[in-house]
């Protein structure tokens, strides 16, 4: 009797895990196989790939590796679904010099690959003529333009808006419109000088050398907030936010370009 109850509980746990092991946006995760590169440590691998880096003993156990000292270049490791980070998005286009960091900027930077999965706190840098298009689950496309530094933060809470950060440079975004329309933000872009909340639109965020921001709305609506003040941008309007100050009154832009996918 006790054995039957335990088996039933185990089955329920497995079913629960199957429902919960999904990336943000409802896309199922799958196990991945990684190859240890020169200079990579178990700590770095855990930071890049595990939802909780402290669970590295489970990674070793799953791969039947008895000793952390056996983690050496060329070794293949399978990262099971129950240990993986959630997937927030994926790269759809990469041109020029673009680098990725999967440890929140703490570890080494490596070239960004087409089809690279992006997780919470992953960062991207573009140099020279480099740029990349990133598909964010349940949001749309974000184009990180040249000489920019960007971070995917993910959802603050389940079902809440996805947040990204722009530390330097500029980005374009083409956010899928909500159906039916809603006044709730589905996407937030934070920068050193402002926060842009988006309802479904095409827009641009640009930072100057002093990290002041210009936000331009090409279609839809963007709410720009800083220093306790919020202004609403509609199609063909922009605002400027000097770092440490409130947004200026929205003004018309000469032309509202359309963001085309590469």
- pLDDT at residue 24 above 90? no
Q: Which residue has the tokens 């496309």?
A: 141
Q: How many residues does the chain have?
A: 262
Q: Report residue 206: phi and psi, to 5°.
A: -130, 135
Q: pLDDT for 132-157, tens place per residue?
A: 999 999 899 999 999 999 999 988 77
Query: Candidates 3.10.20.90, 3.20.20.70, 3.40.50.1000, 3.10.350.10; correct CATH number of 32-83?
Result: 3.10.350.10
Please spell the DSSP secondary structure of 109-123, one letter per residue: -EE--TT-EE-TT-E
Name beta bridge partners: 213.
207, 241
Query: Percentage of the chain with pLDDT > 70?
Result: 84
Name beta bridge partners: 224.
196, 231
Distance of CA 41 to the CA centre of its chain: 24
Summarize the confidence of residues 121-135 as an average pLDDT.
Answer: 96
Domain boundaries, the chain: 32-83, 89-252
Task: Determine the CATH number of domain 89-252.
Answer: 2.60.120.1440
At residue 3, the pLDDT reads: 53
Sorting pLDDT into bands at 50, 70 and 90, what band is 14?
Answer: very low
Summarize the confidence of residues 152-170 as an average pLDDT.
Answer: 88
Distances (CA, A) of 147 to 75, 84, 131: 34, 30, 8
- Which tokens belong to 62? 């799953």
- Which tokens belong to 200? 């479904």
């Amino acid at each position: 009797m006790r054995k039957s109850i335990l088996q039933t509980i185990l089955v329920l746990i497995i079913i629960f895990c199957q429902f919960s092991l999904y990336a943000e946006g409802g896309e199922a995760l799958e196990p991945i196989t990684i190859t240890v590169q020169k200079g990579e440590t178990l700590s770095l691998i855990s930071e890049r790939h595990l939802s909780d880096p402290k669970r590295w003993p489970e990674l070793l156990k799953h791969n039947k590796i008895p000793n952390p000292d056996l983690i050496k270049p060329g070794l293949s490791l399978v990262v099971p679904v129950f240990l993986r980070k959630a997937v927030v998005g994926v790269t759809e286009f990469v041109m020029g010099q673009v680098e990725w960091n999967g440890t929140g900027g703490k570890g080494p930077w490596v070239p960004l690959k087409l089809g690279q999965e992006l997780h919470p706190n992953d960062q991207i840098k573009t140099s020279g003529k480099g740029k990349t298009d990133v598909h964010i689950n349940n949001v749309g496309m974000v184009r990180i333009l040249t000489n920019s530094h960007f971070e995917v933060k993910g959802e603050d809470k389940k079902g809440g808006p996805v947040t990204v950060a722009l530390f330097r440079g500029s980005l374009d975004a083409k956010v899928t419109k909500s159906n039916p329309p809603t006044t709730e933000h589905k996407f937030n872009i934070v920068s050193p000088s402002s926060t842009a909340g988006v309802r479904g639109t095409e827009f641009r965020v640009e930072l100057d050398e002093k990290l002041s921001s210009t936000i331009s709305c090409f279609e839809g609506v963007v709410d720009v907030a800083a220093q306790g003040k919020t202004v609403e941008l509609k199609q063909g309007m922009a605002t400027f936010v000097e770092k440490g100050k409130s947004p200026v009154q929205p003004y018309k832009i000469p032309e509202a370009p359309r963001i085309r996918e590469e």
